[in-house]
Amino acid sequence: MNRAIPDEIIEELRSRCNILDLVRSYIPLKKSGSGSWKGLCPFHQEKTPSFTVNEQRGRYHCFGCGRGGDIFSFVMEWEKVDFPNAAHILASKCNVIIPERTYNSPQERQQAQQRAGRRERLYRINDEFANWYSGFLRSNPEWPVCQYLENRGIPPDIAEKFQLGAAPDSWDASMNHGRQLGYSQDEMLESGIILVNENSRKIYDRFRNRLIFPIWNEQGRVVGFSARTIEQNPQGAKYVNSPETPVFKKSNVLYALPLARKAIQERNMAILCEGQLDVIAMHRAGFECSVAPQGTAFTDEQARILKRYTDKIYLSFDSDTAGVKATVRALDILMPLDFEIKIMRFPQGSDPDDVFAAEGAEGIASIVDSALDMFDFLCEAIFPKYDVTSPHGKGRVISEMINYLRKISKPVVRESYVQTLSTRLGVRPETIFGELSKLNKDNKFKFQQRQSNQQQFNASPAMEQQPTPAQQEPIIDLPPAIRHAEETLLELGLAFQDIASRIAHANLDHDMLSSTVIGKALNELINCVLNGEWDHAVTHLTDLERDNPSPSLSKILSSEPQYKQSQAQKAFEQCIEVIQKQRVEQRKKEIIEKMRVALPEEKNQLMMQLLELSS
């Protein structure tokens, strides 16, 4: 039996299976606060209930043993099965059909066909609305969206190639059009063409007076839409996107891939851009191998899709701070997959669309030709942070660089970069290889230790009353104040969208957040906010937790917020102050260490930096 679970099925299970109903089918629970339920933990023996279920967030957590997770985690723990089997158990409870190679009965086949028919219906809705939006654009040349495209210099043939469209400036034009086509209100709600106001319950069009970008899946079928405002100072979001549906999972979609697939294979390279207009500019410049992550940060699933077509990736992100962070995140995903990676650099404040408008195809080609190898990009990012003329500075550069080099699985590539790094630093290659070997041994020891602990746990019935070792995250030396600040920021960011936005724009550089699971989760939350995905942050962090078990993260994801809205702002400011103060103190220590080995003429400059930080 085929146990591969399609992503849309996983998302359907998340939406169809209520965690409260699921857990209550196994153990009794009593209401404990708004949206929270409590009972005796089923995973360890206890007399006082410490097991809680948060219905709104779809999470559970035990404050006694530290176990926590979502519907899949609960079934995996209870039934002692892996993820695919847990999904099948949930599917049977929720009457969701997981496509299989064979069916056990005619009834199962019929149900599977009905499910397939529902997905096909969604595909048809999206396809018909894509045609309607593009037709509206063509037939209304004086419409503001059409004028916007003309001002951006996008000609009709390019608009037709990308099936660009326009949404009428109306609250119900799309809804009325769908009804004329014979689609029900429920079908249009599920597809995301219309939506309902949670307070007033009023139903209205999702896209109004916006430029429409149809989104295709890998097979070239329309699965959703991204809509850009044309206003100079918009009141709402710059982009409004279709919600995830049974046929649309953003992390599995690359914008314009069906248009780029042939060019990617012919050139044996793909260019990864930030957004749709950047992709269109690159295609117009002759680089039709360009795609972009859809509606979210670049994901491992998207990287694996590209791996099927090419081994070479050019990253075309902005040169600002957010763009550099996005580049670093993409490197973390791409390097273990053995891509050859190059970084395209645009003038500060410019993107592919700007360069194409100013310099045409030649300007874009020049930037592609001068793209940096990822190793050179890392050197440019890391070397200036330290005094590479001092032994300590060289050591810190090596420590940072090997965190990336160790992700390269091909020995020849890794050795080549180590040789280059040794030449640039004036350090023997053996020294760098020694540091790499030491890091790999440390990581291997930690992994083996966790495995050994898990085996002891499984072999000893007495341990059933203790916290699960698999749920214990690696111990990282971190000041308690910083740990508390990061946990508080994560809690605030998940509870209050305005605070989440402030966190995302608080200039918290990547190296200011810890390498703990909470630090990673906080970074992921920031990523969700910057990509308009705050509503799905809990789901993203649940996926992160599955690969990085953490009682601390589970507790935050499953608990009601401890802070009221009136307290949140002050708590946010205090946490940011703690983290920034710690960064200053860390910088002071680095300068003092440099002064110990610095030449006399260098000490004065370092002293000035120290005084400036102390003022």
Low-confidence ranges of the chain (pLDDT < 50): 1-3, 101-102, 444-471
> 411 and 319: one domain?
no
Residue of 412, 391, 406 whose CA lies nearest to 438: 406
Q: Residue 99 falls within a domain, yes or no?
A: no
> 82 and 122: one domain?
no
- Note the pLDDT of residue 510: 62
8 A C-beta contact, residue 594 and residue 392: yes
Total number of domains in the chain: 5
Segment holding 203, helix H or strand E: strand 203-205
> 212 and 243: one domain?
yes
> 72 and 145: one domain?
no
Q: Residue 84 falls within a domain, yes or no?
A: yes
State the amino acid at position 110 in one-letter form: Q
> 261 and 241: one domain?
no
Q: Residue 380 falls within a domain, yes or no?
A: no
| Domain end (from 248, 281, 306) | 248
Dmax (CA) for the chain in angstroms is 86
Q: Residue 475 falls within a domain, yes or no?
A: no
Rg, Å, the chain Cα set: 26
> 517 and 606: one domain?
yes
Segment holding 609, helix H or strand E: helix 600-614
| Domain end (from 461, 494, 524) | 461
Q: Distance (Å, rounded) from C-alpha 377 to C-alpha 178?
A: 49
> 72 and 195: one domain?
no
Q: Report how far apart, in Å, the C-alpha atoms of 257 and of each of 276, 305, 313 are.
A: 11, 10, 14
Q: Residue 101 falls within a domain, yes or no?
A: no
- Residues of the domain holding 39: 7-94
- Note the pLDDT of residue 113: 58
Length of the chain, in residues: 615
What is the CATH classification number for the domain harbouring 269?
3.40.1360.10
> 601 and 531: one domain?
yes
Q: Residue 525 falls within a domain, yes or no?
A: yes
> 484 and 589: one domain?
yes
DSSP assignment of 310-343: -SEEEEE--SSHHHHHHHHHHHHHHGGGT-EEEE
- Note the pLDDT of residue 446: 42
8 A C-beta contact, residue 204 and residue 185: no
Burial code (b: 16+ CB inside 10 Å, e: under 16) for 366-382 equals ebbeebbebbebbbeeb
What is the CATH classification number for the domain harbouring 562?
1.10.860
Q: Distance (Å, rounded) from C-alpha 522 to C-alpha 499?
A: 13
- Note the pLDDT of residue 6: 73
Q: Distance (Å, rounded) from C-alpha 371 to C-alpha 555?
A: 44
| Domain end (from 62, 94, 126) | 94
Q: Residue 381 falls within a domain, yes or no?
A: no
What is the CATH classification number for the domain harbouring 66?
3.90.580.10
> 171 and 283: one domain?
no
> 528 and 561: one domain?
yes
Residue of 565, 409, 558 whose CA lies nearest to 69: 558
> 240 and 261: one domain?
no
Q: Residue 309 falls within a domain, yes or no?
A: yes
pTM summary value: 0.57
8 A C-beta contact, residue 558 and residue 490: no
What is the CATH classification number for the domain harbouring 115?
3.90.980.10
Q: Which tokens go with 213?
A: 């970008």
Q: Distance (Å, rounded) from C-alpha 249 to C-alpha 539?
A: 13
